[in-house]
Amino acid sequence: MRKILAKVLADRTLFQVECAEDPYVARKIIKQFHPNVITLDIEMPKMDGITFLRNLMKLHPLPVVMLSTMTQQGAEATVTALELGAVDFIGKPKADADNQNLLDFQSSLIEKVILAANSYSTIKKHREFFSVPLSLIKKPLGAQQVAGKLIAIGASTGGIEAIKQILRHLPNNLPPIVIVQHLPKLFSERFANRLNAGVELKVKEAENGDVLHSGFAYIAAGGRHLQIKSTGEQLVCVLSDQAKVNRHRPSVDVLFDSLSDLNAEKLLLVLLTGMGKDGSQAMKRLADMGAYTIVQDQQSSIVWGMPGSAVALNCVDLQLSLNQISQKLQSHFQ
């Protein structure tokens, strides 16, 4: 696999590619060449990828794209890697993958490595945006302050860490929060469980028919679209296997568009770091209807694709850092 990756990147990009058969060799190469980006396998000889990544991020933060098996064990390790600061991940192709799957893997690898390399300066500064302690606003919200209101968040590349940092500063008395993070099957449930263990909110993977409650955050299931439907006075999660939108399922645009039948003035929409433009068009439509809109600012974003696309559409009320987004989510409904 290492030789295949090196050949793909050397043949189809302008990168100088160096290979390391284990983490100890990798450490020497990093010191010698100061790479712009690293691809890192979770399964390696002599030291596992998570241990190496944890040490790397403490001593020499660099953009890292993880290689993962699409298994339960691989999903758990990958979510850990993303929490530790890896920029993105890509599933390793199966041994019996056909030519089309291999071509898709190569294209995705190149795209993610290039974007990760371009995020180099952001990675160096990224940890600073999480260093300011925030106090939770404990003032209870009345029923009228929560009723019918909803926070919807979309994210992609870099979003795992961004979402974690936002939610861990929020109290458990806010309106329901629904979240689309671009993830495949197996990964979303583990992400939700990890969040639930570390924040005041109750966090769960969204299931078909879930009724939204204040103080809860619902993570879109990997590989399925999440929509919110109104049934009388209740808001309910609806999952679907419809075609990908903007190359993604779940898609932020699908989630946001499903909110168009609600009172837009009770909606707060947030677009976080991520490549592409998913969510920006639907954010524009809801903003025109009266929804309040926030995007992560360029300085703190790993990739300013999705937020930048919304800004280009002139539909954004505020551009904020992650700390500022947490503060605004708390104060907006007071």
- The predicted pLDDT at position 134 comes to 47
Cis peptide before 140 (omega within 30 of 0): no
CATH number at residue 321: 3.40.50.180
| Predicted local confidence at residue 123, as pLDDT | 60
What is the rounded CA–CA span in Å between residue 308 and residue 265?
23
- Which two three-digit tokens encode residue 109? 């690898």
- Could you give the CA distance from residue 328 to residue 116 in angstroms, rounded to a whole number? 29
The predicted structure's pLDDT at residue 138 = 44
pLDDT of 120: 64
Whole-angstrom distance, CA of residue 311 vs CA of residue 319: 9
Using the predicted structure, report yes or no on whether residue 43 has a pLDDT greater than 60: yes
d(CA 324, CA 112): 28
Residue 304 has pLDDT above 70, yes or no: yes
The predicted structure's pLDDT at residue 122 = 64
Residues 174 and 305 in one domain: yes
Of 279, 260, 275, 184, nearest to 222 (Cα)? 184
Q: Is the pTM of this model over 0.85?
A: yes
- Of 309, 247, 317, the residue nearest 288 (C-alpha): 317
> pLDDT value at position 205?
98
Does some domain include residue 128?
A: no
Percent of the chain at pLDDT exceeding 70: 92
Lowest-pLDDT choice from 57-71, 190-204, 282-296: 57-71
**Residues contacting 171, CB < 8 A, separation 6+:** 136, 137, 138, 200, 201, 330
Query: What pLDDT does residue 129 have?
Result: 46
pLDDT digits (tens, 9 = 90+) for 100-139: 988 999 999 999 999 999 886 566 555 444 444 444 444 4
- Do residues 179 and 156 lie in contact, with contact meaning Cβ atoms separated by under 8 Å? no
Place 313 in a pLDDT band, splitting at 50, 70 and 90: very high
The DSSP result for 227-244, as a single string, is EEEEETTEEEEEEE-PPP
- Domain-ending residue, one of 103, 118, 133: 118
Residue of 144 and 173 predicted with greater confidence: 173
pLDDT digits (tens, 9 = 90+) for 52-103: 999 999 988 999 999 988 788 889 999 999 999 999 999 988 878 889 988 9
Neighbours of 230 (CB within 10 A): 14
| Residue 11, domain CATH | 3.40.50.2300
Phi first, then psi: what are they for 97, rounded to 5°?
-60, 140
CB 53 within 8 A of CB 81: yes
pLDDT at residue 118, as a whole number: 86
**Distance between CA atoms of residues 310 and 301, nearest Å:** 14
d(CA 307, CA 275): 9
The reported pLDDT for the residue numbered 121 is: 58
Decide which of 4 and 331 is more confident.
Answer: 331
Hey, which residues are catalytic here? Answer: 156, 182, 278
CA distance 126 to 111: 21
| Cβ(303)–Cβ(273) below 8 Å | yes
| Residues 158 and 304 grouped into a single domain | yes
pLDDT score, position 130: 46
The domain boundary residue, chosen from 102, 118, 134: 118
How far, in Å, CA of 83 to CA of 191, rounded?
Answer: 9
How far apart CA 16 and CA 33 sit, in angstroms, is: 10
Using CA of residue 104, residue 107, residue 113, residue 114, what is the dihedral sign?
Answer: negative
Q: Are residues 80 and 154 in the same domain?
A: no
End-to-end C-alpha distance for the chain, whole angstroms: 53
Range of the domain at 213: 143-331
280 close to 96: Cβ distance less than 8 angstroms: no
What's the pLDDT band for 1 if we cut at 50, 70, 90?
Answer: confident
- Whether 125 is in a domain gets the answer no
pLDDT of residue 144: 47
- Cα angle value 152/157/158 (rounded, 5°): 85
Total domains in the fold of the chain: 2
In a domain, 134, yes or no: no
Tell me which of 105-114, 141-150, 223-232 is least confident. 141-150
More reliable by pLDDT, 168 or 121: 168
